[in-house]
Amino acid sequence: MKLQVQRYLGSLVFVFLLFLSVALGATAGVLFVYNSDLPQVDSLENYRPSVVTEVYADDGQVIGSFALERRIVVTYEQLPQVLKDAVISVEDQNFYEHWGIDFYGIARAGLKNLLAGRVVEGGSTLTQQLSKNLFLTPERSFRRKIQEAMLSIQIERNYTKPQILTMYCNLGFLGHGQYGFAAAAEYYFAKNVKDLTIEEAALLAALPRSPNNYSPINHADRALMRRNYAIDRMVAERKIMAAEGEVAKKLPVVLAPRKRPDELAPYFVEELRQYLENKYGTSAVHEGGLKVYSTLNVEMQRAANAAVVQGLRVYDKRHGWRGAERNLLGKGATDLDAIELDDWKLPIRTNDIVPGIVLDVNAKSATVRIGEYVAQLAPQDIGWTKAKTPAEILRRGDVALFMVRSMNSADRKVEVTLEQRPKVQGALVAIDPLNGEVKAMVGGYDFDESKFNRATQALRQTGSSFKPFIYAAAVDKGLRPDDTVVDAPVNFNGYTPGNYDGRYEGTITIRRAIAESRNIPAVKTLANIGIPAAIPYIQRFGITSKIEPYLPIALGALDVTLFEMTSAYSAFPNDGVRVVPRLIRRVTNYDDDILEEELPELRDTIPSQTARIMVDLLQEPVRSGTATSARQLKRPVAGKTGTTNDFTDAWFMGFTPSLTAGVWVGFDEKVTLGDRETGGSAALPIWLDFVREVYKDKPVEQFDFQEPRSLTRTTAAPPALPDVATAGATTRQSQ
């Protein structure tokens, strides 16, 4: 009997060992297979997550960024203790004890899920979540879980707990395009991560499980519930006192106010993006964390934005009311009080231009609803439309644009003025002539509506704003401001130019010809210089667009960009030296190594004496010619208006001793701006508004013709030109 028992036990042991061997072999085989294609976690030493590339203005302010994942990388020391405690309490209570896998945590989570009948708690450790985020897909499969566990063990063997926690806090997705807790703190609370409070840290720590479902923006109730759960976990883990937890749970979720899209310089930043991607590649720009130090000046850009928007609106209003954008009643709406327009989801501020719904119209006024506010539109609020009462131009159910002049939050009333979206376009470029830095750029009325940059991409005829290059060539050959020219009808082998006003003034000085923008004197000057000699001279100003060898180029009959023209004009106030325009000072990589550094690149364009004479001549339009409204600035300025045939393009190119700026106004399809919409009436007001704002409270500068600051001038002789008559030389220009 005893022998039989021993044999039976021996058989059981044999079977057990056999099955154990098979199980161990199978497990080893599975682990070998699953481990064969796993990445090496020691590569994390050099791992760098996708980081935002930021663009800085000339004073260090961030004006733009490029990123596939918006992330701000921080160190372990920069993570506040309250956030570390919140994350560990919610996600991995045994983080500092386990070695990558928490079997106790898995068992606890399984029991809770079983009792609840649904998944209420996960069993993955922070290390497992990190391994999934770094190396694996989010698929739910046995193979992925095995690989996740194996990777977690490897990570724990190679890295310290602070390193693992830091990587976790920098990598995770927290909703609305934000990756990592530092970026999320800035996005949700407008705070540096180090300044988070208990309730804020708890809310962020609660997001990784399901950022979309617990978004405090889209699901405030769920976010509050999940935040309070996180606070309870912090109390249970003794990270905070129970009393602190109760106080924190009673606080509401307070997010940073959502802002209206208010990009400072979208056209400028887009120019940089295209340049950077072409030079460094898309991956480096959107994931590499470059730092781009640009030349843009924030205050000048703001002034440029305001000037262009205001100028185009003023022009647009001169040409009348085009009607409401749409009527809701005509589209089947019945309850106007229940309709919510998308634009109302963002805060409404004074001076905002926002859509409103006309609720009622009577003989004297109209009632307009803008979000939670109501306005009474009086006749004076629509004065620019020439209508006597709102009833003449508006109907119940109309949706139109209104500018908010004032707000009374207590009784939810606002005062408004009727507006409409301009169809006309405009552009502005401002360059520091001393160093070539582009300080401001506006490429159109609305970047969101059209990404086409009319400052750098639109080739348009320049009208009379091109004449100074012709006169500069003549001055180089001896022409002087008080020499005379005959402003009279002339025929050049069938080409018969005419003046803007259709009149002829006879013998006049060059100074007067430029001031009044007479066309015939400019054409005669070009004819005397000779087109073959004039074209290479003009190209010295940086005009790279094609120049056809015809006399009408004296009147701007060639297509040039505003950017080229502004750069070309910058040679005049800089004593004949043109500094190649630049948008970048330097670019560094993630480690602050300099990738490129742009230094001023000088082009000796015209002799200094020629430049000084041209500065004097170009002050004449301001003193007594087509740009006299610029005298209101009460400081030395110079410039030239430009208007093309049929009033399709309006220009003003002007400068002070320290700033050159150009403005263009027109329609994209090259149709007329309207009768007498000249450079002086359509473009110059924008230039004036810009310069007035830039120089407010600044001392008056004089054209003293000193050598450029901190720049070395090179010497190059101007190209030889044919002799040109002085007294009696014929010139003529247009507005």
CA distance 735 to 733: 7
The DSSP letter of residue 708 is P
Q: Are 362 and 391 in contact (CB under 8 A)?
A: yes
CB crowding 556-592: b at 16 or more within 10 Å, else e: bbbebbbbbbbbbbbbbbbbbbbbebbbbbebbeeee
Please, what is the Cα angle at 33 between 30 and 37, to 5 degrees?
140
Q: Looking at the predicted structure, is the pLDDT value of residue 56 above 70?
A: yes
Residue 186: active-site member: no
Report the SS3 class of residue 167: helix
Instruction: Supply 394's token pair.
Output: 């508006």
* Domain presence at residue 386: yes
CA distance 639 to 625: 11
Any alpha helices (H) in 420-574, and if so which ranges? 467-476, 510-515, 519-529, 531-539, 562-569
Q: Which of 225, 250, 275 is the last residue of a domain?
A: 250
Interval 440-466: pLDDT, tens:
999 999 998 999 999 999 999 999 999
Q: Looking at the predicted structure, is the pLDDT value of residue 201 above 80?
A: yes
Task: Point out the catalytic residue in the list 91, 148, 156, 516.
Answer: 91
Cβ neighbours around 364 below 10 Å, total: 12
* Same domain membership, residue 434 and residue 404: no
Pairing relation of β-strands 398-408 and 353-361? antiparallel
Task: Point out the catalytic residue in the list 89, 152, 464, 465.
Answer: 464
Q: How far is CA 134 from the centre of its chain?
A: 31
H-helix or E-strand spanning residue 285: helix 282-287
Residue 145 is predicted with a pLDDT of 60
Identify residue 443 by its one-letter amino acid code.
Answer: G
* Same domain membership, residue 356 and residue 244: no
* Least confident range of 138-152, 240-254, 408-422, 495-509: 138-152
H-helix or E-strand spanning residue 248: helix 242-250
* Same domain membership, residue 213 and residue 122: yes
The distance in angstroms from the start CA to the end CA of the chain is 125
* Least confident range of 107-116, 130-139, 402-411: 107-116
Report the mean per-residue pLDDT for the chain. Answer: 87
510 φ, ψ (degrees, to nearest 5): -60, -40
User: Is-above-0.85 flag for pTM?
Assistant: no
CA trace torsion 507, 512, 515, 516 (10° rounding)? -30
* Same domain membership, residue 435 and residue 414: no
**Residue corresponding to tokens 């080739």:** 459
CA distance 527 to 470: 10
* Domain presence at residue 20: no
Tell the burial category of 269 from Cβ atoms under 10 Å away from its Cβ (0-12, 13-18, 19+).
buried
Looking up residue 121, the CATH number of its domain turns out to be 1.10.3810.10
Residue 464: active-site member: yes
**Residue corresponding to tokens 């800089």:** 574
Instruction: Supply 634's token pair.
Output: 């009460």
Cβ neighbours around 262 below 10 Å, total: 6
* Same domain membership, residue 407 and residue 505: no
* Same domain membership, residue 690 and residue 549: yes
CA distance 8 to 10: 5
The DSSP letter of residue 259 is -
The DSSP letter of residue 173 is B
* Domain presence at residue 23: no
The DSSP letter of residue 569 is H
Across residues 629-646, what is the average pLDDT? Answer: 96
Instruction: Please report which confidence band the pLDDT of residue 107 belongs to, taking 50, 70 and 90 as the band edges.
Output: low
The DSSP letter of residue 72 is -
Any alpha helices (H) in 388-500, and if so which ranges? 467-476
Instruction: Supply 257's token pair.
Output: 């106010």
Q: Are 526 and 551 in contact (CB under 8 A)?
A: yes
Looking up residue 365, the CATH number of its domain turns out to be 2.40.50.140
Identify residue 410 by its one-letter amino acid code.
Answer: A
Q: Are 201 and 86 in contact (CB under 8 A)?
A: yes
* Same domain membership, residue 566 and residue 436: yes
* Domain presence at residue 291: no
Looking up residue 631, the CATH number of its domain turns out to be 3.40.710.10
* Domain presence at residue 490: yes
Instruction: Please report which confidence band the pLDDT of residue 112 belongs to, taking 50, 70 and 90 as the band edges.
Output: low
Instruction: Supply 637's token pair.
Output: 């300025």
* Same domain membership, residue 437 and residue 387: no
* Same domain membership, residue 685 and residue 541: yes
Q: Looking at the predicted structure, is the pLDDT value of residue 59 above 90?
A: yes
* Least confident range of 233-242, 253-262, 603-612, 623-632: 253-262
* Least confident range of 91-105, 163-177, 551-565, 675-689: 91-105
* Domain presence at residue 117: yes
* Domain presence at residue 236: yes
Phi-psi sector, 635: left (phi>0), alpha (psi -120 to 50), beta: beta
Which residues neighbour 145 within 8 Å (Cβ) at sequence distance 6 or greater?
A: none
Q: Are 661 and 638 in contact (CB under 8 A)?
A: no
Distances (CA, A) of 585 to 60, 276, 300, 597, 599: 12, 13, 17, 6, 7
Q: Looking at the predicted structure, is the pLDDT value of residue 467 above 90?
A: yes
* Same domain membership, residue 434 and residue 356: no
Q: Are 92 and 126 in contact (CB under 8 A)?
A: yes
* Domain presence at residue 5: no
Report the SS3 class of residue 508: strand
Q: How many residues does the chain have?
A: 735
Please, what is the Cα angle at 364 between 361 and 368, to 5 degrees?
40
How many separate domains does the chain show? 3
Among 111, 96, 131, 99, residue whose Cα is nearest residue 239: 96
Across residues 91-114, what is the average pLDDT? Answer: 69
Among 453, 54, 435, residue whose Cα is nearest residue 268: 453
Tell the burial category of 712 from Cβ atoms under 10 Å away from its Cβ (0-12, 13-18, 19+).
exposed
597 φ, ψ (degrees, to nearest 5): -140, 115
**Residue corresponding to tokens 């802002």:** 259
Residue span of the structural domain in which 230 resides: 76-250
* Same domain membership, residue 430 and residue 398: no
Interval 15-34: pLDDT, tens:
555 454 544 444 444 444 44
Instruction: Please report which confidence band the pLDDT of residue 70 belongs to, taking 50, 70 and 90 as the band edges.
Output: confident
Residue 22 is predicted with a pLDDT of 43
Distances (CA, A) of 475 to 71, 74, 404, 722: 57, 61, 52, 12
Which residues neighbour 561 within 8 Å (Cβ) at sequence distance 6 or greater?
A: 455, 456, 457, 458, 459, 460, 545
Residue 447 is predicted with a pLDDT of 94
* Same domain membership, residue 548 and residue 401: no
β-pair partners for 192: none
Residue 456 is predicted with a pLDDT of 98
